[in-house]
C-alpha cells in the first residue's frame, strides 16, 4: 500500500491552492476527472471549447491578486471587459457595471492548468472512502486501490465531502452549507446580444428572471474564436428540472433565450451541474476551512463565499493551518 505524507482530494482551484503551498512536502492530489480545474471547466465541441462552468472571476484579496498577476504574466489569464446588461420584464437594459473581470485563456481551464503546473496529480482516480487508521488515514478508491496518508484535505463540493467522510462528524457542515444546481446550455448563433435600444452587449445577468441567470457571448472573451453563447440557468429552475434529459432542457432554455433576447441559435450541449454554487454565499466558516479530525481538514469554495477567489483562499488557508500544526 502506497504511503503519502499529504493527500488532497480534488484538483479544483481549492485543491490546487493547497498543493501549491505544500508542494515541497510530498503532497499528492487525487482527481476523479481527466484534468485539473474542477468547475473552471471548458468542454470540447468539435475543434474548439466552450466554458461551461465559471464564466469569469474577480479579485478582491491581495493573496489571490498575486497568483492572478502570475497567471496574467504567463498568459494563462486575461482581463475581460464585457459590455454588461441585465434582464428585465421589458427586455435587456445596459448596465453601468465596470467590475474588473478575468478569464482563463484560451479557455477557463487554462487557469486550472496553470495552477497545476509542477504538482503531483493522480487523475482519473476517484476516492470512495476515507477512514482513520493508527496515526493517519486510509483512502480507498472506487477501483479498490488503497493509500495511507499522514494528513488529508478534502476539497470536493460539500455533498461529495460527506459521502467520503462517513466515519467522521460532518453533519453540522452539510446541514449548514447547501449547494444549488445549475443547467448550462451552449448554443451556436450568429446573433448579437443587445439591449432594448440596440446597443451590443457581451454578457447579461438574469436579475429576477425565473429561468436565466447569466448569458455570455463567448467571442467577447479574449482568445475565443467561436460563435457560442453560454446560458446558465436560474438555480431554482435547475432544481425543478434536475432530473430531465439534456435534450429537453436545451429546448426549453433555447426558447427562453429567444423570447427574452431575440437570439436564435442551435443548441450544442446542455450540462447538468448538481452542485454548482452555494445556496447562500453569505454563510461562511471561519477562514473558509473546517478541521474534521487531527490531521483531516476540508476546504472549498462553499466554505468561503462560493467563487473562484473563495476557493483559492480557502485552499491557501488550510495549507497554512496544516503547516502551523506540524
Ligand atoms: C455553472 C457555474 C458558473 C459559475 N460561475 C462563476 C463565476 O462566474 N465566477 C466565479 O468566481 N465562480 C463561479 N462559479 C463557481 C466556481 O467555479 C467555484 O467557486 C470554484 O471553481 C470551486 O472550486 P473548488 O476547488 O472549491 O471546487 P471544484 O472546482 O468543484 O473542485 C473539486 C474537485 O474535486 C473533484 N472530486 C470530487 N469528488 C472526488 C472524489 N471522490 N475523488 C477525487 N476527486 C473528486 C472534482 O472532480 C473537482 O475537480 C461557477 C460555478 C458553476 C458550476
Provide the pLDDT for residue 46: 92
CB atoms closer than 10 angstroms to residue 166: 10
Per-residue pLDDT of 208-232, as tens digits, reads 999 999 999 999 999 998 999 999 9
Per-residue pLDDT of 58-116, as tens digits, reads 999 999 999 999 999 999 999 999 999 999 999 999 999 989 999 999 999 999 999 99
- Give 259 Cα–ligand 1 centroid separation in angstroms: 31
As a whole number of angstroms, the distance between CA 102 and CA 119 comes to 23
The Cα-based distances of 325 to 201, 290, 318 in angstroms read: 50, 14, 11
Provide the pLDDT for residue 225: 87
Q: For the domain made up of 43-60+82-106+179-279, give the CATH fold.
A: Polyamine Oxidase; Chain A, domain 2 (3.90.660)
- Give 262 Cα–ligand 1 centroid separation in angstroms: 31
- Give 290 Cα–ligand 1 centroid separation in angstroms: 18
Residue 135 pLDDT exceeds 90: no
pLDDT level of residue 134 (50, 70, 90 thresholds): confident
Least confident of 13-17, 281-285, 310-314: 281-285
For the full predicted model, state whether its pTM sits above 0.95.
Answer: yes
- Give 134 Cα–ligand 1 centroid separation in angstroms: 32
* Nearest atom of ligand 1 to the alpha carbon of 17: 25
As a whole number of angstroms, the distance between CA 291 and CA 286 comes to 10
* Nearest atom of ligand 1 to the alpha carbon of 182: 1
CB atoms closer than 10 angstroms to residue 297: 24
Q: For the domain made up of 1-32+125-177+284-326, give the CATH fold.
A: FAD/NAD(P)-binding domain (3.50.50)
Residue 51 pLDDT exceeds 90: yes
Residue extents of the structural domains in the chain: 1-32+125-177+284-326, 43-60+82-106+179-279
Contact 23, 4 (CB under 8 A): no
Provide the pLDDT for residue 98: 87
- Cell 487525487 belongs to residue: 30
- Give 156 Cα–ligand 1 centroid separation in angstroms: 8
Provide the pLDDT for residue 320: 96
As a whole number of angstroms, the distance between CA 18 and CA 9 comes to 10
Ligand 1 lining (C-beta closer than 6 Å): 9-15, 30-33, 38-40, 53-57, 126-127, 155-157, 160, 164, 182, 184, 232, 273, 276-277, 300-301, 306-308, 311
Q: Phi, psi at residue 39, to the nearest 5°?
A: -75, 0
Contact 269, 45 (CB under 8 A): yes
pLDDT level of residue 155 (50, 70, 90 thresholds): very high
Residues 6+ positions from 59 with CB-CB distance below 8 Å: 65, 68, 100, 102, 309
Amino acid at each position: 500500500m502506497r504511503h503519502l505524507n499529504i493527500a488532497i482530494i480534488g484538483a479544483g482551484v481549492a485543491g490546487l491552492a493547497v498543493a501549491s503551498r505544500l508542494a515541497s512536502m510530498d503532497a499528492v492530489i487525487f482527481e476523479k476527472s481527466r484534468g485539473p480545474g474542477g468547475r473552471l471547466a471548458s468542454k470540447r465541441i468539435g475543434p474548439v471549447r466552450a466554458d461551461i462552468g465559471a464564466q469569469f472571476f474577480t479579485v478582491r484579496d491581495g493573496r489571490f491578486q498575486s497568483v492572478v498577476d502570475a497567471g496574467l504574466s504567463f498568459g494563462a489569464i486575461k482581463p475581460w471587459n464585457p459590455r454588461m446588461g441585465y434582464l428585465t420584464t421589458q427586455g435587456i437594459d445596459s448596465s453601468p457595471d465596470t467590475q474588473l473581470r478575468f478569464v482563463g485563456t484560451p479557455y477557463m481551464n487554462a487557469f486550472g492548468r496553470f495552477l497545476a503546473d509542477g504538482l503531483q496529480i493522480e487523475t482519473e482516480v476517484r476516492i470512495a472512502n476515507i477512514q482513520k487508521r493508527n496515526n493517519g488515514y486510509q483512502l480507498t478508491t472506487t477501483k479498490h486501490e488503497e493509500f495511507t496518508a499522514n494528513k488529508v484535505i478534502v476539497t470536493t463540493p460539500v455533498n461529495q465531502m460527506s459521502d467520503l467522510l462517513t466515519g467522521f462528524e460532518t453533519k453540522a457542515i452539510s446541514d449548514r452549507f447547501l449547494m444549488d444546481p445549475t443547467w448550462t446550455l451552449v448554443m451556436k448563433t450568429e446573433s448579437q446580444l443587445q439591449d432594448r435600444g440596440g446597443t451590443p452587449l457581451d454578457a447579461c445577468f438574469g436579475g429576477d428572471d425565473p429561468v436565466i441567470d447569466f448569458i455570455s457571448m463567448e467571442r467577447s472573451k479574449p482568445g475565443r474564436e467561436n460563435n457560442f453563447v453560454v446560458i446558465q440557468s436560474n438555480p431554482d429552475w435547475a432544481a425543478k428540472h434536475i432530473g430531465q434529459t439534456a435534450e429537453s432542457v436545451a429546448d426549453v432554455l433555447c426558447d427562453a433565450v429567444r423570447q427574452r433576447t431575440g437570439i436564435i441559435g442551435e443548441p450544442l450541449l446542455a450540462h447538468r451541474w448538481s452542485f454548482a454554487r452555494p445556496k447562500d454565499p453569505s454563510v461562511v466558516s471561519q477562514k473558509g476551512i473546517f478541521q474534521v479530525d487531527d490531521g483531516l481538514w476540508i476546504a472549498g469554495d462553499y466554505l468561503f463565499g462560493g467563487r473562484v477567489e473563495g476557493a483559492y483562499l480557502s485552499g491557501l488557508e488550510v495549507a497554512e493551518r496544516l503547516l502551523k500544526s506540524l
